[in-house]
Chain A
């Protein structure tokens, strides 16, 4: 049984159907991507998995337990964690407080200081600005903060929604390298990225979402070779 199983998931915004019977499985230790054009429903899928939008049909199972309708904070407690689109750091809290809030759940709290020391050592820039409000950070620094804050929760599955959005090429590299390292440490990854070429190097498998439906599935190599993916996402 897969670690995360999404089966026939549908989401509606009012009358509009944003996801139609989407199924997806993520095995323990895998890295999986979801590709798709703008408005295809990628963010909606991740928000539904996190419990930020209600599902109108289908089911979500994590570690064999159904969580389709459980509240968002319980999913985090279980280890199903997301770095959302747009980073969403807490702008008027200090960098340190942002990080500490990552260890808010009872499961993560005992390791708070250890996780914190690790994150600050890894990113001296966060250390230097530990006492400043998060909104004073640059875009790249905010993305690192969002990433490290999510890691403070001790995730089993880390979902990332366009982590490189709006970053300069050098920073994109840094972010993608960090995600690779996180994956190699044993965290299961589900990633949505515009930067398809780099993402396909990182992941094992992927699905393509079109108008709220899965249009194509395959291994990273298969997707890399697919005409459709090459034309639509790799610009080749």
Chain B
């Protein structure tokens, strides 16, 4: 019983951290219709930001979030201006090459500047754990989980409660109609992109106490995040959060029962099963991806 709880707890904790990466990815897809292959690299930059602030100035990684988020947000605005904006309306391959190119560029920039070394943050709480009976929960994992889920839900609340959030939803549902309401669609795109990649940066910073950082670290995370996004339903923020928890759970359960090597295969099987049974994903709307334009 305790063992089962232990497996469930660690699965949910990992899943929760993924949620923050996945909501940004699903948001960019839902609003801009852009598959952001560079998403993992913004997370990587967030991790390096946290690492260097810790290494150079001894700043706690959780505090570095307050510097990382505005910095990556600014970088997101710039990226939209210089690259993403120019691909809107272009053939899909152009968009894919643009974000894939950006991903490779950022990876190699990190390789040049930071070298290929794997670096880790060690703090006073590294390796500490809380015990609930026999169940042990890593403290940094728990903090990262709470922050990640908190930020993902804050994003959801922003989208569903605020005026600008509704303008973002309106733009996602019909770009032309949004423009006819006086919504500045270009600005919505720019802000959405920046908010989403800032989320990836925040995820990087809060993952720094738990995971090591190296130039290609974003890749392994973003592949899982893509699976989560499709599972949750393209463009569905709440769906991405729930799918993230589900994927973490499946990874953990299968990793324990069958072996770690099978864990990844398991969620791909889950992924394919969902797509066969429910092509729009768990929480997606059938055909939501074609609501753009007239």
Give the interface of A toward B (CB within 8 A).
50-52, 71-73, 76-77, 81-82, 84-86, 88-93, 97, 100-102, 104-105, 108, 149-150, 153
Give the interface of B toward A (CB within 8 A).
163, 166-167, 169-170, 173-174, 176-186, 285, 288, 291, 294
- If A71-B186, A101-B170 touch, does A85 touch B294 (CB 8 Å cutoff)? yes
- The smallest C-beta distance from A10 to any residue of chain B, in angstroms, reads 20
22 A-B contact pairs sorted by A residue (CB < 8 Å): A50-B180, A52-B180, A72-B179, A73-B179, A73-B182, A84-B177, A86-B294, A88-B174, A88-B176, A90-B173, A90-B177, A90-B178, A91-B173, A93-B166, A93-B169, A93-B170, A100-B166, A102-B181, A104-B163, A104-B183, A105-B182, A153-B181
B166: nearest residue on chain A (CB-CB)?
A97
**Are A92 and B179 closer than 8 Å at their CB atoms?**
no
A91: nearest residue on chain B (CB-CB)?
B173
Of A52, A92, A93, the contact of B176 (CB 8 Å cutoff): A52
Residues of A within 8 A of B170 (CB): 90, 93, 101
Residues of B within 8 A of A153 (CB): 181-182
**Are A101 and B183 closer than 8 Å at their CB atoms?**
yes
In the bound complex, CA of A91 to CA of B285 (Å) = 11
Residues of B within 8 A of A93 (CB): 166, 169-170, 173
**Are B169 and A92 closer than 8 Å at their CB atoms?**
yes
Residues of B within 8 A of A88 (CB): 174, 176-177, 180, 294
**Are A84 and B166 closer than 8 Å at their CB atoms?**
no
**Are B181 and A91 closer than 8 Å at their CB atoms?**
no
Q: 9 closest A-B pairs (Cβ-Cβ)?
A: A76-B182, A105-B182, A88-B177, A72-B179, A73-B184, A90-B173, A73-B182, A101-B181, A90-B170
- If A100-B166, A101-B167, A101-B170 touch, does A108 touch B291 (CB 8 Å cutoff)? no
**Are A72 and B173 closer than 8 Å at their CB atoms?**
no
In the bound complex, CA of A138 to CA of B179 (Å) = 24
Residues of B within 8 A of A71 (CB): 179, 184, 186
**Are B285 and A51 closer than 8 Å at their CB atoms?**
no
Of B167, B186, B291, B294, the contact of A104 (CB 8 Å cutoff): B167
Specify the main secondary structure of chain B where it touches its partner: helix
Residues of A within 8 A of B163 (CB): 100, 104
- The smallest C-beta distance from A135 to any residue of chain B, in angstroms, reads 10
Residues of A within 8 A of B185 (CB): 72-73
Residues of B within 8 A of A52 (CB): 176, 179-180
Q: A86-B294, A100-B163, A105-B182 are in contact. List 9 more A-B contacts (CB 8 A).
A: A71-B179, A72-B179, A76-B180, A76-B182, A90-B170, A91-B174, A93-B169, A101-B178, A153-B181
In the bound complex, CA of A92 to CA of B280 (Å) = 15
In the bound complex, CA of A93 to CA of B182 (Å) = 17
- If A88-B294, A91-B291, A101-B170 touch, does A72 touch B180 (CB 8 Å cutoff)? yes
Residues of A within 8 A of B173 (CB): 90-93
**Are A73 and B183 closer than 8 Å at their CB atoms?**
yes
In the bound complex, CA of A86 to CA of B181 (Å) = 15
In the bound complex, CA of A35 to CA of B273 (Å) = 52
Of B166, B176, B186, B291, the contact of A101 (CB 8 Å cutoff): B166
Residues of B within 8 A of A108 (CB): 182
- If A84-B176, A84-B177 touch, does A90 touch B169 (CB 8 Å cutoff)? yes
In the bound complex, CA of A102 to CA of B183 (Å) = 9
- The smallest C-beta distance from A140 to any residue of chain B, in angstroms, reads 18
**Are A84 and B180 closer than 8 Å at their CB atoms?**
yes
B171: nearest residue on chain A (CB-CB)?
A90
**Are B180 and A82 closer than 8 Å at their CB atoms?**
yes
Taking each of A88, A89, A93, which has the highest tally of chain B beta carbons within 10 Å of its own beta carbon? A88
- The smallest C-beta distance from B26 to any residue of chain A, in angstroms, reads 15
In the bound complex, CA of A93 to CA of B160 (Å) = 10
In the bound complex, CA of A100 to CA of B161 (Å) = 13
In the bound complex, CA of A100 to CA of B185 (Å) = 17
In the bound complex, CA of A226 to CA of B89 (Å) = 43
**Are A90 and B174 closer than 8 Å at their CB atoms?**
yes
- The smallest C-beta distance from B9 to any residue of chain A, in angstroms, reads 35
In the bound complex, CA of A51 to CA of B178 (Å) = 13
**Are B184 and A92 closer than 8 Å at their CB atoms?**
no
Residues of B within 8 A of A77 (CB): 182
- If A73-B185, A76-B181, A104-B182 touch, does A84 touch B167 (CB 8 Å cutoff)? no
- The smallest C-beta distance from B146 to any residue of chain A, in angstroms, reads 30
In the bound complex, CA of A44 to CA of B142 (Å) = 56
